[in-house]
């Protein structure tokens, strides 16, 4: 026989359980837009039925239901989707940064435009061509000087922008690494809290959500793998542990991540993108620009000096020293000289004669501003002797007479013409040994940048699509559907109402029994 009040207990359990379910529904609705939130359900089950007690087995039929109870509030989530999401998110992080950097590089290159390096280079050659028409003119020389300065300024500026970009990336790595450090610390803390709570048998659903969300965020910064242990999440970046149980890896900084990049533990994420951007892209274009500057100044070029040209006293070309009467070329001479600088030194300036009464030969045209070092895009500058005195530009390749009465043939424009023709000359790259015109070096660099940027944009779009696809699948499993919650709410509300009605019914039953029976004759 069940107890008289058994059904009241059953009704009460029902009320409590439906309340809990309603409460969870409310919690779900409230968090419909919470980032990283996983919908929760109340696991209901019929509570353990009872047998009527007695010395012998009761002969009352069946087991007596005792109503409902809930044993857990669970998150609905698929682990597989998490790891897939994180993998794609890592790719996205890396490609986004790479694509951004390449976009910035494209802005720095500033092509096609009428203000880029190519344009100033063209102007530089053009001013030599103009000088070739008026080789004696100081105005034309000043224009050559100004255009040369514009060229070196443009290169210096670009080099500066490249090194700024590189420095930005380095400081971004540091900033991101401290962000990563704080995430790692949070995960260790959450591991501890979750273990504590779940040790008591509860599900720390919301804390787990937070922890998963943080892992998602980390996955954008670096590549992660997660193993779920009794001590919480162990988070690894490649073979490098970031969190083991309650212990976060401390000292995550630029050097730590650089080492991880070198050991191949760091294979994705924003930091990976930054390091690749800096060490591959920016470094590569910096090197190419440096090479361009140095090759223009010093790369081997083959030029043909026309017959009748007079080489400066003591010039050594192809192992032949030109001195005295053999300075005057009897036939066209094709020689290899060291870039624009080498060519410039074959000609004569309009300066006063030197101590021996010879006309002054050209000086190196471009020099490194730090004196003596190799010329780079950053330090290339016009020889100060030329900046101070445009007459120090050599345009002529001819003198008449001999020292001390040697005289400059001012109208000889051979050198100026050769200079303006350098646009078509193949230079031998100082660093790679490749032969091409300066224009080709530059346009191949721009072309390479275009391809890399296009590839990065495409990869970014692809990984964005993949991430959003996986995220959609994840949302499909774990996201809150308001329609669903509303229908659940109504379901639970009705269940609650019905349970309450059941209690009222039973209350009336008892009322009848207690207050309305045994009153005969009253």
Partner 1 sequence: MRVTNNMLSSQLLLNLNRNSERMNNTQNQMATGRKLNKPSDDPVGITYSLRYRSELSSNEQYQRNVDSAVSWLDFNDTVMDQAGQIMQRVRELTVQASTGTNPQSALDSINKEIGQLKEQMIDVVNSQLNGKYIFNGQTYDKKPYDLPLNADNTHDTSGAASIATDTGNVNFIVGENVALPINVTGNEVVGTSTDADNLFTIFNQLSAALASGDIKASGDQLANIDTRMDKMLKVRSEMGAKSNRVELMQSRLSDLEVNLTDLQSKTEDADYAELLMNSKIQENIYNASLSAGAKIISASLVDFLR
Q: Where are the beta strands (DSSP E) in 249-392?
A: 300-305, 315-317, 320-322, 333-338, 366-368, 380-382
Instruction: Among 19, 267, 443, 462, indicate the residue that binds partner 1 (CB under 8 A).
Output: 443
Least Å distance, CB 379 to partner 1, is 25
Judged by CB under 8 A, which of 75, 146, 481, 510 binds partner 1?
481
From 53-61, 222-230, 278-286, 453-461, span contacting partner 1 (CB under 8 A): 453-461
At closest approach, how far in Å is the CB of 493 from partner 1? 10
451 within 8 A of 1, measured Cβ to Cβ: no
Where do the H-state alpha helices sit in 345-409? 384-388
Query: Binder to partner 1 among 450, 459, 462, 502 (CB under 8 A)?
Result: 450
Min dist CB 37 to partner 1, Å, is: 9
DSSP for 113-167, written as a single string: SSSSHHHHHHHHHHHHHHHHHSTT-HHHHHHHHHHHHHHHHHHHHHHHHHHHHHH
Which of 153, 168, 439, 462 is the binder for partner 1 (CB under 8 A)? 439
- Nearest residue (CB) to partner 1, 324 versus 411: 411
- Single residue of 21, 311, 453, 495 touching partner 1 by CB under 8 A: 453
Q: How far is the CB of 272 from partner 1 (least distance, A)?
A: 21
| CB nearer to partner 1: pick between 114 and 230 | 114
Comparing CB distances to partner 1, the nearer of 248 and 485 is 485
Residue 190 DSSP code: H
Greatest Cα-to-Cα distance within the chain, rounded to the nearest angstrom: 159
Closest CB to partner 1 among residues 173, 453: 453
Question: Using the rule CB under 8 A, which residue among 242, 275, 409, 422 binds partner 1?
Answer: 409
**Beta carbon of residue 165, minimum distance to partner 1 (angstroms, whole number):** 16
Measuring CA to CA, which residue among 338, 425, 394, 439 is closest to residue 132?
A: 394
Going by C-alpha positions, the residue among 67, 23, 29, 64 that lies closest to residue 45 is 67
Whose Cβ is closer to partner 1: residue 448's or residue 505's?
A: 448
Please identify which residue in 355, 424, 519, 520 interacts with partner 1, judged by CB under 8 A: 424
Helix extents (H) in 396-437: 414-421
Would you state the structure tokens that stand for residue 340, as one six-digit string? 């624009």
Half-sphere CA count of 205, side-chain side, radius 13 A:
17
Stretch that binds partner 1, among 53-61, 197-205, 234-242, 470-478 (CB under 8 A): 470-478
Q: Is 167 in the site for partner 1 (CB under 8 A)?
A: no
Among the candidate windows 54-62, 256-264, 486-494, 501-509, which touches partner 1 by CB under 8 A? Answer: 486-494
Binding status of residue 111 toward partner 1 by CB under 8 A: yes
In angstroms, the Cα distances linking 465 to 79, 94, 147 are 20, 15, 48
- Asked if 243 touches partner 1 (CB under 8 A), the answer is no
Name the token pair of 113. Answer: 């435009």
CA angle 446, 450, 454 (to 5 degrees): 170
**Span near partner 1 by CB under 8 A; candidates 77-85, 107-115, 356-364, 374-382:** 107-115
- Of the listed pieces 164-172, 275-283, 287-295, 479-487, which binds partner 1 according to CB under 8 A? 479-487
DSSP per residue over 44-65, as a string?
Answer: EEEPPPBPPP-SSPP-SSSPBP
Alpha carbon separation from 291 to 111, 159, 179, 329 (Å, rounded): 19, 12, 37, 33
- Single out the residue of 202, 484, 507, 511 in contact with partner 1 (rule: CB under 8 A): 484
Least Cβ distance, residue 314 to partner 1 (angstroms)? 23
Q: How many CA atoms lie within 13 A of 140 on its CB side?
A: 18
Q: In angstroms, rounded to a whole number, what is the distance separating the alpha carbons of residues 231 and 246?
A: 7
CA 152 to each of CA 143, 149, 294, 366: distance values in angstroms, whole numbers, following the listed order: 14, 5, 11, 9
**Which residues, numbered 31-50, are part of the site for partner 1 (CB under 8 A)?**
32-33
Q: How far is the CB of 491 from partner 1 (least distance, A)?
A: 12
Q: Which one of 48-56, 360-368, 395-403, 428-436 is the stretch in contact with partner 1 (CB under 8 A)?
A: 395-403
Smallest gap from residue 383 Cβ to partner 1 (A): 24
- Residue 199 structure tokens: 């040790």
Should residue 6 be labelled a site residue for partner 1 when binding is judged by CB under 8 A? no
Tokens read off for 240 = 């490098």
Question: Who contacts 238 (Cβ-Cβ below 8 Å, separation ≥6)?
Answer: 223, 260, 263, 264, 265, 266, 267
Residues in the interface with partner 1 (CB under 8 A) total: 64
Cβ proximity to partner 1, 63 vs 472, nearer residue: 472
CB neighbours of residue 60 within 10 Å: 12
Shortest reach from residue 10's CB to partner 1, in Å: 29
Q: Is 252 left (phi over 0), alpha (psi -120 to 50) or beta?
A: beta
Lay out the site mask for partner 1 across 112-151 (x = CB under 8 A, - = otherwise). Answer: x-----xx--xx-xx--xx-xxx-x---------------
Q: Which residue in 60, 316, 477, 514 binds partner 1 (CB under 8 A)?
A: 477
449 binds partner 1 (CB under 8 A): yes
Q: Which residues contact 354 (CB under 8 A, 6 or more apart)?
A: 360
Where along the sequence are the contacts to partner 1 (CB under 8 A)?
A: 32-33, 102-103, 106-107, 109, 111-112, 118-119, 122-123, 125-126, 129-130, 132-134, 136, 308, 396, 398, 400, 409-414, 417, 420-421, 423-424, 439, 442-444, 446-451, 453-454, 457, 468, 471-472, 475-477, 479-484, 486-487, 490
């Amino acid at each position: 026989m069940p107890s008289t009040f058994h059904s009241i207990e059953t009704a009460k359990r029902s009320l409590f359980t439906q309340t809990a379910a309603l409460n969870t529904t409310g919690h779900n609705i409230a968090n419909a837009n919470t980032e990283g939130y996983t919908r929760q359900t109340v696991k209901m089950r019929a509570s353990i039925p009872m047998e009527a007690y007695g010395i012998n087995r009761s002969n009352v039929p069946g087991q007596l239901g005792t109503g409902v109870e809930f044993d857990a509030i669970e998150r609905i989530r698929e682990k597989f989707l998490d790891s897939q999401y994180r993998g794609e998110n890592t790719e996205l992080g890396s490609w986004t940064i790479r694509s951004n950097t390449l976009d910035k590089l494209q802005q720095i290159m500033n092509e096609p435009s009428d203000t880029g390096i190519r344009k100033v280079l063209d102007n530089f050659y053009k001013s030599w061509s103009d000088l070739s028409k008026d080789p004696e003119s100081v105005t034309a020389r000043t224009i050559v000087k100004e255009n040369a300065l514009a060229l070196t300024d443009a290169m210096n500026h670009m080099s500066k922008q490249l090194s700024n970009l590189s420095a930005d990336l380095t400081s971004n790595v540091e900033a991101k690494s401290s962000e990563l450090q704080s995430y790692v610390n949070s995960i260790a803390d959450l591991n501890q809290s979750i273990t504590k709570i779940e040790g008591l048998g509860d599900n720390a659903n919301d804390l787990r959500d937070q922890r998963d969300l943080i892992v998602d965020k980390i996955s954008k910064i670096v590549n992660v793998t997660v193993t779920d242990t009794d001590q919480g999440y162990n988070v690894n970046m490649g073979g490098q542990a970031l969190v083991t149980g309650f212990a976060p890896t401390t000292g995550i900084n630029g050097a730590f991540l650089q080492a991880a990049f070198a050991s191949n533990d760091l294979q994705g994420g924003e930091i990976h993108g930054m390091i690749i951007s800096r060490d591959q892209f920016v470094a590569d274009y910096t090197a190419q620009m440096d090479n361009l500057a140095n090759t223009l100044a010093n790369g081997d070029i083959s030029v043909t000096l026309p017959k009748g040209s007079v080489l400066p006293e003591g010039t050594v070309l192809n192992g032949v020293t030109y001195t005295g009467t053999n300075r005057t070329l009897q036939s066209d001479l094709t020689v290899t000289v060291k870039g624009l600088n080498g060519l410039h030194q074959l000609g004569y300036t309009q300066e006063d004669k030197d101590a021996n009464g010879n006309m002054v030969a050209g000086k190196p045209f471009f020099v490194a501003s730090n004196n003596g070092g190799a010329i780079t895009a950053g330090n290339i500058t016009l020889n100060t002797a030329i900046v101070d005195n445009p007459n120090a530009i050599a345009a002529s390749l001819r003198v008449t007479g001999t020292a001390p009465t040697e005289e400059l043939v001012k109208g000889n424009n051979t050198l100026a013409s050769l200079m303006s023709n350098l646009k078509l000359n193949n230079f031998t790259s100082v660093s790679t040994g490749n032969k091409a015109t300066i224009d080709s070096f530059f346009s191949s660099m721009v072309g390479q940048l275009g391809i890399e940027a296009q590839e990065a944009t495409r990869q970014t779009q692809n990984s964005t699509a993949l991430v959003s696809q996986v995220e959609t699948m994840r949302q499909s499993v774990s996201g809150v559907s308001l329609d669903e919650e509303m229908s659940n709410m109504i379901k639970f509300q009705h269940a609650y109402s019905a349970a309450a009605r059941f209690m009222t019914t039973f209350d009336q039953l008892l009322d009848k029994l207690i207050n309305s029976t045994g009153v005969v004759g009253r």
